[in-house]
Every structure is written in structure tokens, then in C-alpha cells.
Homo-oligomer: A and B are copies of this chain.
Amino acid sequence: MGSAKDAIGFVGLGVMGSSMAGHLLKAGYPLRVYTRTEAKAAALLGAGAVWRESPAALAHECKYVFTMVGYPKDVEEIYFGPKGLIENARPGSYLVDCTTSRPDLAARISAAAAARGLAALDAPVSGGDVGARNAKLTVMVGGAEGDFEAVKGLLGVMGSTVIRQGGPGAGQHTKMANQIAIAANLAGAVEAITYAAAAGLDPRTVLASIGSGSAGSWQLNSMAPRMLDGDFAPGFYAKHLLKDLGIALDSARAMNLDLPLLGLAEKLFAKLCDAGYGDEGTQALYLMYEKRSAAGAEN
């Protein structure tokens, strides 16, 4: 099976990438993989994926290449570095970056790809590790319409809501709008819970009153209980949200746009990461307020 299918390359096998690549493999596509830490590829290799020593080596053999790495600088290296995708991909192939990255970098990749007869799309996702595992990701796509049509089916193997939002960079911009709302809702949940606890209420009983009405949000209902349980395990790393908010702020500035709530949220998460909590989940923001509240109580 799958022998009639085009080979697919996948670069970046972290928690998200591993699940996403696994769905492509299960769907019968010959899979070539590369990731910085080879050990992370073990399960996929055992299931039939083939290791390649560089993005270039992988790109030589594939009509579709997906990338899912950590930071814009990683994206930049994989696309533009030595042995990078732009220089080494086969003409007519499709390069799809699923990393949450800079919209302007996505546009630059798209232009460089076009100059070499390649198609590039930005396709960041939301839905977290659970969404990746269950192929229920939301995929926000930027790129030319025809190119989107060519990769839509593959994105549908990994996600359940696949929407083209516009030209190159539009997927990243959509993801930025997503992260702005997440940060606001999460910080709002933290301040609401902090206020309730300081007022001597039982925050869990407060959630029973406020969680389902017009104050309700995914962040309040999913993250506030974790905060109250002292569960700060990462569903989504604080350091990654900080990275995303920095990108959103840069983009907003480039558009001459003043978004004070975004600016405040970025400061709050920078403080959290400075305090050593970058590898905790985003809900660890609560720890900064708990201390603040305790310090206040001492005065």
C-alpha cells in the first residue's frame, strides 16, 4: 500500500510533529523524516518511516515537505540555511511550514520558493498535543489558492478544521489573532481566580457560577482548575506563548497598531519566563499572582 503515493518529508519531530507525521504514515504515504535529535524519530522509524540526514537529503526525494519546529530562527535555518529546503527541494514540490512563526518570514519563504519554482505555504495549527494525537487540529493556512488545494487533503489527514485565510503569511497572522485571544483569556482567568481567592471565596465554587455564562472561556474552564490543583504541567509551554506574543507584538508594530492588552500580556509572560517558569504550562502564570497576593497579605 502507499506505493502509488508521493513521498512526504517531515522535518521536526517534537510532541506535535511526531503525532502529525504519524498520521501521514498511517494514511499510507512513504515518509522521510529528519529532526535535530534523532532519538525522537525512533517510534516513527519503527513504524516504517525512513531517516534522512538533513532537510536537503529529505527534500530531494519528496513532493511534499512539512516542517514543524520551535522558533522562527529554526524555520529560517531549515529553509534558508546550508542544506536548506529552498535550495534543495525538487521543482514543483510543496513546502508547508506548520511552525507558529513570523508572518513576514512566511512571506519571505513564499517569495524565495516561487523564484525557484516551488510552492510554499504557512500552516500553523492549534489544538495542542491532544489535537495532534487525535488528528483534530485546526490548520490556518496562508498561500496561493491553487497550492492550498494541492495540500488541503494532506492537512486534512492531520487536522479537522483546515481553512485558507489568505495569501502568504495569512496563516501566521491568523495564529497570532488566536494567541492574542488566548493570552487575554488566560490572564483574565488568572486575575479572576486570584481576586476570588484573595476575597476569601472558594475559587472552585466561583467557577461553578461564572464558568458557563458570558465570562466563560476555554482558558477559564480548562486552565483555572489546573491552577487550583497546582498542576502546571505543560499542555502549551509558557516560553512558546511568550515567543508567539513577541511575534504578534512585532507584527502589530509593523502595522502601526497599538494593542495595549497584547503588550501587557507579553510583559506578564516575559516575567514568568524570567522567573524560571518557561518550561511550565502557560497556566503557571497563576504562580506570579499567588506570590503577589501573598506579598500583599503580609503588608
Number of chain copies forming the complex:
2
Give every chain B residue within 8 A of A192 (Cβ-Cβ).
177-178, 180-181, 184
Closest to A184 in B: B188
Contact with B along A241-270 (1 / 0, CB 8 A): 000000010011001111111101100100
Chain B CB within 10 A, most for which of A195, A198, A248? A195
Closest to A282 in B: B214
Chain B CB within 8 A of A120 CB: no
Q: A170-B199, A184-B185, A248-B195 are in contact. Are A213 and B126 (CB under 8 A)?
A: yes
Segment 201-256 of A: residues with Cβ below 8 Å from B? 201-202, 205-206, 208-210, 212-220, 222, 236, 248, 251-252, 255-256
Chain B CB within 8 A of A134 CB: no
- Show 5 residue pairs from A and B whose CB-CB distance is below 8 angstroms, ordered by the A residue: A140-B210, A161-B208, A165-B209, A182-B214, A217-B217
Q: Contacts A161-B208, A213-B218, A256-B297 known; list 18 others, CB within 8 Å.
A: A140-B210, A163-B209, A165-B205, A165-B209, A166-B201, A166-B202, A173-B199, A178-B210, A181-B191, A181-B210, A184-B187, A184-B261, A185-B188, A194-B257, A195-B257, A216-B217, A256-B296, A261-B268
**In whole Å, how far is A83's beta carbon from the nearest beta carbon of chain B?**
32
Give every chain B residue within 8 A of A217 (Cβ-Cβ).
181, 185, 216-220
For A170, give its contact among B161, B188, B201 (CB under 8 Å).
B201
Q: Give residues in A with beta carbon < 8 Å to B.
A: 103, 126-128, 131, 138, 140, 161, 163, 165-166, 169-170, 173-174, 176-185, 187-189, 191-196, 198-202, 205-206, 208-210, 212-220, 222, 236, 248, 251-252, 255-262, 264-265, 268, 289, 292-293, 296-297, 299
Give every chain B residue within 8 A of A173 (Cβ-Cβ).
195-196, 199-201
Closest to A162 in B: B209
Give every chain B residue within 8 A of A209 (Cβ-Cβ).
126, 138, 140, 161, 163, 165, 174, 178
In the complex, the answer to whether B195 meets A188 with C-beta atoms within 8 Å is no
The A contact surface, by secondary structure, is helix
Give every chain B residue within 8 A of A293 (Cβ-Cβ).
257
Q: Give Cα A127–Cα B196 distance, bound, in whole angstroms.
A: 20
Give every chain B residue within 8 A of A201 (Cβ-Cβ).
165-166, 170, 173-174, 177
Give every chain B residue within 8 A of A140 (Cβ-Cβ).
209-210
**In whole Å, how far is A199's beta carbon from the nearest beta carbon of chain B?**
4
Q: Give Cα A131–Cα B209 distance, bound, in whole angstroms.
A: 14
Q: Give Cα A216–Cα B182 distance, bound, in whole angstroms.
A: 8
Chain B CB within 10 A, most for which of A128, A188, A212? A188
Closest to A268 in B: B260
In the complex, the answer to whether B214 meets A196 with C-beta atoms within 8 Å is no
Give every chain B residue within 8 A of A176 (Cβ-Cβ).
195, 199
